[in-house]
Structure 1
Amino acid sequence: MKKNKTCGSRFKMLLEEAKITTTEFADFLKISQAQNVHNWYTRGVPDYRIEEVARKLSVNSEWLKTGEGPKDARHLRLVDETGNTFDAQAIRGLYTVIEPTDVELPFFKEKPVAPGSNKTHVIEDTSHPIRLPRSHLDSLEINHADAICAYMIGNSMAEKIEDGSTIAIDRGLTQIIDGEIYAIEHDGMLRIKYLHRMPGNGLRLRSHNSAEYPDEIFRAAQIEEQNIRVLGWVFWCSTLNKRRPPVPFL
């Protein structure tokens, strides 16, 4: 764990300018012992922490490490290994933090199990990732690794979710909460429905467009026989208007 002893004074200066204590900064970095961060004043920031600390304080990591080059990192566009762009966001006075603004979610769709087959299964399409604001997931306490996207197929959920809409699914929430919308895989078919629990571990599927799609009720044995499994809770959807309204008096 090599440390850059020469950067200690620069690190101290940055925290003083930002009016943030070593205890607060340690908490922000999720370091349990604040004294370890305070020791960086004299011992320097460890090499493996330089990039992270520089990013959190919006300075050039090379300047923090050696004192050479420009101090300001605002001219830099930082990109992480997943392609997320980092932007500076004010958090406390002069103190700024750089965090990724988007999360890239894998896209899943229904595909034939073999060319020409009528039987389908739900698999990932690696050529079609979807990006959502990180704040959407964080506000709902969704683990980023659990989130996936898919397309709504058909009009069973119209006018709630239109045909062709992109939906986002939290695979971390598969416990059925009555009346919530879930994505399910039904014998290889991707379906989006309101779910309700029934006595005897049964399940009721309800469409928003109930006039055309009546409720479906499955007993526990049928759920197993027909390979029905809950993929996750639908927490977001994108719905476009079907037409552009005409502009009058033109």
Structure 2
Amino acid sequence: MSKQSQVLKGQRFRKALEDSGLTGAQLARILDLENDQNITNWKARGVPAYMVGEVALTLIVEREWLEGKDVPMRTPSTERNPPPPANGSPLYVLELMSPWDSGTPLEADEVELRLYKEVEVLSGPGKIPRKEIQEVTGPKLRFSRATMSSCGVDPSNAVFAINHSNSNHPLILSGATVGIDTGMTRIVDGEMYAIDHDGHFRIKFLQRTTSGIKLKNFNSIKFADEDYEFDQIMAQRFVILGRIFWWSSIRPLTAPPLI
């Protein structure tokens, strides 16, 4: 790589970082880097090839632009702000929701997410039932590529599942739909993850410890922290499915009070 190319890539990384509103330390934490020195190096030489995709998704810029190519910094799918209003029209207008079903064609900026859920399977000579987390056929969830890009999620890594626990009430209600980034399984302390715990789907805040992993809940009054050492993690089929990047739920009139 030429010196001129390194300088250009470094300049573009500095611009993208400044435009994102993140500090170097914050970006290093999001990317799970060991220290801030990587960020300092990238400001001078640009982002290395093996990290440029993840950095582009995180900073919401085009990957090719970050690589120093002659392309726009952003396209409509990575644009942060809406265009300015024309002719003095209001900036925000409430519009009716457009209903859709499985037969409605996808829009250009939409992708269908796969559904993952707990299923009971038969295994072994005696066909003893056990739980597994599997992709199932049936309903799909439509999601905006631009929204996933703003969350640093590659659409090919996105799946969804249904929460059936009150451990994170009222942040995430029982019955809520959650979006999972299966491309992000590294533990960033304080982030929320979907877990396959011996075939059971669980949503927990994860924190690394010197001997293993701590599972924490938003509803910490009713649900105590759980500590697992490395040998327990291996023995209990403990798998991090991915980071929770989105959640939503309906609110029926007959639902119990939130507070």
- Look up the SS of the partner of 2:122 in the other structure: coil
Pair member with larger Rg:
1
More contact order relative to length (CA 8 Å, sep ≥ 6):
2
Distance 1:85 1:189, change over 3 A: closer
**Hey, what does 2:148 align to over in structure 1?**
137
**Hey, what does 1:111 align to over in structure 2?**
119
The letter of the residue matching 2:154 is N
1:27-106 equivalence runs, <5 A: 84-86=105-107, 100-106=108-114
Distance 1:84 1:101, change over 3 A: farther
Structure 1 stretches of at least 4 aligned residues deviating more than 6 Å after TM superposition? none
1:156 to 167, 171, 177: 167
Distance 1:133 1:117, change over 3 A: farther
Distance 1:162 1:209 in 2: 11
Distance 1:133 1:33, change over 3 A: closer
Distance 2:129 2:220 in 1: 27
1:234 aligns with 2:244: yes
The letter of the residue matching 2:247 is C
2:182 to 171, 175, 193: 171
1:224 aligns with 2:225: no
Return 5+ residue gaps in structure 1 as ranges: 1-26, 35-81, 87-99, 246-250
The letter of the residue matching 2:106 is T
Contact 1:149 1:167 in 2 (8 A): yes
Distance 1:117 1:198, change over 3 A: same
Question: In angstroms, what is the RMSD of aligned CA positions?
Answer: 2.7
User: 110-119 or 146-155, which moves further after superposition?
Assistant: 110-119
Larger strand proportion, structure 1 or 2?
1
Distance 2:223 2:70 in 1: 58
Count of residues in correspondence between the two structures: 155
Contact 1:84 1:102 in 2 (8 A): no
Return 5+ residue gaps in structure 2 as ranges: 1-63, 72-102
1:187 to 194, 198, 205: 198
- Look up the SS of the partner of 2:156 in the other structure: helix
The letter of the residue matching 1:110 is E
1:197 aligns with 2:208: yes
Query: Once the two structures are superposed, what CA deviation does each residue of 1:18-43 show, in whole Å capped at 9, x if it has no partner?
Result: xxxxxxxxx99xxx899xxxxxxxxx
Query: Once the two structures are superposed, what CA deviation does each residue of 1:162-203 show, in whole Å capped at 9, x if it has no partner?
Result: 000000000111000011100000001110000000103x00
Distance 2:121 2:184 in 1: 27
**Hey, what does 1:213 align to over in structure 2?**
223
The letter of the residue matching 2:118 is E
Contact 1:166 1:237 in 2 (8 A): yes
The letter of the residue matching 1:239 is S
Distance 1:154 1:171, change over 3 A: same
The letter of the residue matching 1:102 is E
1:13-32 equivalence runs, <5 A: none
Q: What is the CA-CA distance between 1:118 and the residue it aligns to?
A: 5.2
Distance 1:216 1:118, change over 3 A: farther
Q: What is the CA-CA distance between 1:141 and the residue it aligns to?
A: 2.5
Distance 2:229 2:70 in 1: 54
Identity %: 33
